[in-house]
Amino acid sequence: MLRHNKSDSNHLKSALPPAPLLSQADLSQVFESERARTERTGSVFSVVVFEMPKGGLPMPPKAVEIIGDTARIYDSLGQIDRQTTGVILPECEPKDAIKFADRVIVKLGKENLRAGVKIFSYPVDWLDYLEHEDDEDSSGHGTILPRSKKPNLKRPAGSKPSHRDLDQDESLRTLMEEPTCEDLEPYFVVPLPKWRRALDIAVSLPTLAVLSVTLLPIVALLIKLDSKGDIFFRQTRVGQGGRHFTFFKLRSMCMDAEARQHEIEHLNKQSEVIFKMPDGLHPFVTGVGKWLRTLSIDELPQLWNVLRGEMSLIGPRPPLPAEVAEYKPWQRRRLDFVGGLTCEWQVRGFGKTGFTKGVRLDLDYIRNRNWRVDFMILLRTPAAALNNGIPH
């Protein structure tokens, strides 16, 4: 009978060729493939990023060797930049990623090496339902490189900020009772092209200036005369990378419509995630509100969100936090790109298209967008707005 012992395992591991150090481009491909696999299987994967202290020194070969030796055979090790090395850990929960980082830091300490470490996992419960949040430019994230800007994420219970600059006398073992793992969601975002941002400003700024002295004062007066309440309706929406922002509309319903929505849930036309009432039957819409919604005039204040960079002219409609909480992992890809006033889902008829098919239309736009596609969507939007209304 063959006997297997620890020395045999060590000998076998030492006989294996070292895992190749992937380039940033190759690591990004593995990163995206792992995301897709995770969304199919419902598993969790983690990424651990080791970074040399500030000062310009590259990652020493010995440090890379230690990280590679500690990683599993099927983990992917790659170079993010000359000072930073990342490890993608398939089928790895946050607590196990922390244990892996701890082992690496201890081994580095024995070689008198020091490094900072960041730990990320996907997916985790990342939505933050706080009403008051600091807004940031939604195009400020990269795809895999850690950035200083963070959206409003909810870390695991009891967690602390995830960046640790550790020397040879300090390990992550002191943190094992409190996982310090960030969500990867913000790093999947697709940057808005500069020409698109320029177009957003060029359209929204003069349009807002003209509307503020022409149509909007008249509409504001009609809203005040028609029903009690504010002129503008403000609502928290989820933008690119999970960032919350304040979404503006002209008020078209009575003031307590949101609080009373449970009274009409049984009339939901979509029946999937989002709430959509049959056309013309919403009991909380005011007299002026029906006219505003028919012409999609109630959506005009979102040009202010476009000007601020929280939205764009074209992109998936920003959802409510409660809606995103019901998303399947693959449906969260809608948040990879900045939300917009209109998109393919809207011009094809929001009320006529089911939620799952609509999400697929949004994802298809994110993958295949170009200036021709954008131009055609803008061209078709006025007719869609008059026929269906721009939701919601």
| pLDDT, tens digit only, all 392 positions of the chain | 444 455 554 554 554 555 578 988 888 889 889 999 988 888 889 999 998 877 667 888 999 999 999 999 999 999 888 888 999 999 998 889 999 999 999 999 999 988 889 898 887 654 333 333 443 433 333 233 233 333 333 333 333 434 444 444 444 444 434 446 676 776 788 899 999 999 999 999 999 999 999 999 999 999 999 988 899 999 999 999 888 999 999 998 887 777 777 666 666 665 567 766 665 667 788 889 889 988 889 999 999 999 999 999 999 999 999 888 888 888 989 999 999 999 998 888 766 778 889 999 999 999 999 999 999 999 999 888 777 555 55
What is the distance between the alpha carbons of residues 108 and 358, in angstroms, rounded to a whole number?
49
8 Å CB contact between 104 and 132:
no
Alpha carbon separation from 136 to 150, 165, 310, 313, 345 (Å, rounded): 9, 26, 8, 18, 27
Cβ-Cβ contacts under 8 Å for 147 (sequence gap 6 or more): 140, 141, 186, 187
The token duo for 35 is 């995301």
pLDDT of residue 57: 78
> Within 10 Å of residue 196's Cβ, how many Cβ atoms?
20
Q: Which residue type, as a one-letter code, is found at position 62?
A: K
What is the distance between the alpha carbons of residues 374 and 366, in angstroms, rounded to a whole number?
11
Cβ-Cβ contacts under 8 Å for 40 (sequence gap 6 or more): 330
- At residue 326, the 3 state secondary structure works out as coil
Judge if pTM exceeds 0.85.
no
Cβ-Cβ contacts under 8 Å for 49 (sequence gap 6 or more): 80, 84, 85, 86, 87, 117, 118, 119, 120, 146
The per-residue DSSP string of 306-318 comes to: HHHTSSEEESPPP
Which secondary structure element, helix H or strand E, spans residue 182, and what is its range?
A: strand 182-183
pLDDT of residue 108: 92
Cβ-Cβ contacts under 8 Å for 93 (sequence gap 6 or more): 44, 46, 121
pLDDT of residue 95: 86
pLDDT of residue 342: 93
The token duo for 307 is 């000007």
* Euclidean distance between the first and the last CA atom of the chain, given in angstroms as a whole number: 70
In 3D space, the residue among 305, 302, 306, 366 whose CA is nearest the CA of residue 331 turns out to be: 366
DSSP 261: G
Architecture in CATH for domain 16-188: 2-Layer Sandwich (3.30)
B/e letters for 257-289, b = 16+ CB within 10 Å, e = fewer, are beeeeeeeeeeeebeebbbbbeeeebebbbebb
8 Å CB contact between 324 and 369:
no
CA R_g for the chain: 25
Domain with CATH 3.30.70.270 in the chain: 16-188
